[in-house]
Structure 1
Amino acid sequence: MDFFFLQGFIRLDMSEFQERHEVAKFIGSPPGYVGHEEGGQLTKKLRQCPNAVVLFDEVDKAHPDVLTIMLQLFDEGRLTDGKGKTIDCKDAIFIMTSNVASEEIAQHALQLRQEALEMSKSRIAENLEDVQVTDKITISKQFKEKVIRPILKAHFRRDEFLGRINEIVYFLPFCHSELIQLVNKELNFWAKKAKARHNITLLWDREVMDVLADGYNLHYGARSIKHEVERRVVNQLAAAYEQELLPRGCTLRITVEDSDKQLLKSQEGSSPAAKKTKAPTLRLEIVEKDSKSRKLDIQAPLNPENIAYFL
């Protein structure tokens, strides 16, 4: 058995290769053209590290001529640069990301989760003992072949390109338990900053995480959770700090007002009527030495620019 070690990571943003002439930027210009001696962005890096992990980010944005070059790369494990020299990279690992068919995948996943939730409710109503409520779902082979593959084929316009891909990994929308983990991670990030920069201790409970998780946007993924935490928590921290409401070394608790805990803990299966319910408000409280809490009177407006004061 042969062993090899990966020695590097190469990332290329394929949105930089949307035009036909940018193929030269990919593998290098031919003799007589400007930039011939510099080499291509990919070939130059592969020559230095032929057994790297190579990420082609947003490959769906690349020009078809760039994809044509990849055919040789994926099939034979070698690449010819603009100077006519061949680079052997059989030990490299190539990964591509794409948003093609992401909307169809997301909607199908939400439908599967809704069906799983309804099935769980039905089995609970029947008092069955083997009921297991889970967020884990799997996209069927039929859906991949009947729905996803035609979309990929229509976009990339060639079976030989898709045929050289060893495996396709599908990223599904976050389930509620995963969103809670993301919220907790983001809050911990800001709690550590508050502690390190201002000696402020930040506390929160599960109800707060449920409220923030509800700000998840299917189209923006994990970024929507990051923005929700900044908008609803960090902006308040920054404004309170700017208005000199936070004594150094104090303990702050994030609390929920106007909450219906049953609604907060509902997951993707919430009814449209529940979705229209007034969103709970997050407030900051200072925890006094006697364990009593005092709400902060933070003056509006809370602008995103205020975050800079707290960093």
Structure 2
Amino acid sequence: LINLSYILVLTEGFIRLDMSEFQEKHEVAKFIGSPPGYVGHEEGGQLTKKLKQCPNAVVLFDEVDKAHPDVLTIMLQLFDEGRLTDGKGKTIECKDAIFIMTSNVASDEIAQHGLQLRQEAQEISKKRIAENLDDVQISEKITISKRFKENVIRPILKSHFRRDEFLGRINEIVYFLPFCHSELIQLVSKELTFWAKKAKQRHSITLQWDREVMDVLVDGYNLHYGARSIKHEVERRVVNQLAAAYEQDLLPRGCTLRITVEDSDKKILKDRGDRSSSGVGGEGKPPRIRLEIIEMDSKSRKLDIRAPLQPEDSAYSL
């Protein structure tokens, strides 16, 4: 009962604002409410109205780099004194609120630096293994140096936001680095599990896959697009085939499907997976992902899905 109440409090106390909706100067009124005499005065602001209801909420300012500078000016008072004056002149105390901002500023620089750090960590691990050291601990955890933060990131942030007083009110900056191979495997597994549940609920189809399939799908990771590239890769190479097979009446209700890699070489796939964690795909034609239907005698039969089935030529939804 305590855990359930805690979850409910968190859900009600979470405020998310898409800051791309506040790119113009006049849209500051949407943030704190219109002053007396203007249209929408009685409605209140999107932030002030919600903070008044829950002054200790967790507030997310998504893509804050897209907001107008006047909106950032309002945040100075909010972050420094923990209070905010709305369009009606009323002061809202929110000292117990937690404010989180996301931004893509300097994302390319951070990604390239993170990629370099991962490559250096891999080289060190390989060297220790080659030297047969007993204390070898292969770790994929890396940290950004203070020098990089001060010499590279801070000048970019200062150039974009153009004010030290805004940056000075931020307690902590969390950097999101490129995914390592094990994290990409988890993302692929999560996506496949999502579609497996969907296939089971809607069509009573059981979906299975090999580890090799995840290694191949990981190779679709794009350093600049993040986790979305994995989502798109699963949809392009797996979900499109599932939907096409269903539309062509190749999937009996209640059947069991296995996702496999055709003519796979496990060593090659592993090498491709290692390269994908650095955002660099392998050369040559990628391994082909196929669907197999498992018969009653446990034998598998490959599905002959009619062409065209190229991702750029077709789009389906399961």
CA distance in 2, matches of 1:51, 1:159: 27
Deviations 1:101-122 (A, max 9, x none): 1111111011011111111112
Q: Which residue of 2 aligns with 1:293?
A: 300
Indicate whether 1:200 and 2:205 are aligned: yes
> How high is the TM-score relative to the length of structure 2?
0.91
Deviations 1:123-164 (A, max 9, x none): 222222222222111111111111111111111111111111
CA distance in 2, matches of 1:197, 1:108: 44
CA distance in 1, matches of 2:220, 2:113: 20
- 165-174 vs 271-280, which moves further: 271-280
CA distance in 2, matches of 1:94, 1:254: 43
1:140 corresponds, among 133, 141, 145, to 145
CA offset at residue 8 of structure 1? 1.0
Q: Which residue of 1 aligns with 2:119?
A: 114
Indicate whether 1:105 and 2:110 are aligned: yes
Q: Which residue of 1 aligns with 2:86?
A: 81
Q: Secondary structure at the match of 1:12?
A: strand
Please say if residues 67 and 161 of structure 1, whose CA atoms lie closer than 8 Å, have aligned partners that are also in contact: yes
Indicate whether 1:22 and 2:22 are aligned: no
Q: Which residue of 2 aligns with 1:36?
A: 41
Question: CA, structure 1 residues 274+238, in 2 after alignment: closer, same or farther (shift >3 Å)?
Answer: closer
CA offset at residue 273 of structure 1? 10
2:295 partner letter:
E
Q: Which residue of 2 aligns with 1:306?
A: 316
Please say if residues 77 and 89 of structure 1, whose CA atoms lie closer than 8 Å, have aligned partners that are also in contact: yes
Please say if residues 222 and 279 of structure 2, whose CA atoms lie closer than 8 Å, have aligned partners that are also in contact: no
- 257-266 vs 228-237, which moves further: 257-266
Indicate whether 1:13 and 2:18 are aligned: yes
Please say if residues 245 and 305 of structure 2, whose CA atoms lie closer than 8 Å, have aligned partners that are also in contact: yes
CA offset at residue 32 of structure 1? 1.9
Indicate whether 1:235 and 2:245 are aligned: no
Q: Which residue of 1 aligns with 2:4?
A: none
Question: CA, structure 1 residues 288+54, in 2 after alignment: closer, same or farther (shift >3 Å)?
Answer: same
- 272-281 vs 85-94, which moves further: 272-281
Q: Which residue of 1 aligns with 2:65?
A: 60
What residue ranges of structure 1 are gaps of 5+ in the alignment?
none
Q: Secondary structure at the match of 1:265?
A: helix
Q: Secondary structure at the match of 1:275?
A: coil
CA distance in 2, matches of 1:21, 1:140: 40
Deviations 1:250-280 (A, max 9, x none): 1111110243322321344579997213200
Indicate whether 1:249 and 2:257 are aligned: no
Please say if residues 263 and 274 of structure 1, whose CA atoms lie closer than 8 Å, have aligned partners that are also in contact: no
CA distance in 1, matches of 2:33, 2:41: 6
Please say if residues 252 and 287 of structure 1, whose CA atoms lie closer than 8 Å, have aligned partners that are also in contact: yes
Q: Which residue of 1 aligns with 2:282?
A: 275
CA offset at residue 44 of structure 1? 1.3
Please say if residues 275 and 281 of structure 2, whose CA atoms lie closer than 8 Å, have aligned partners that are also in contact: no
2:168 partner letter:
G
- 51-60 vs 36-45, which moves further: 36-45
CA offset at residue 241 of structure 1? 0.8
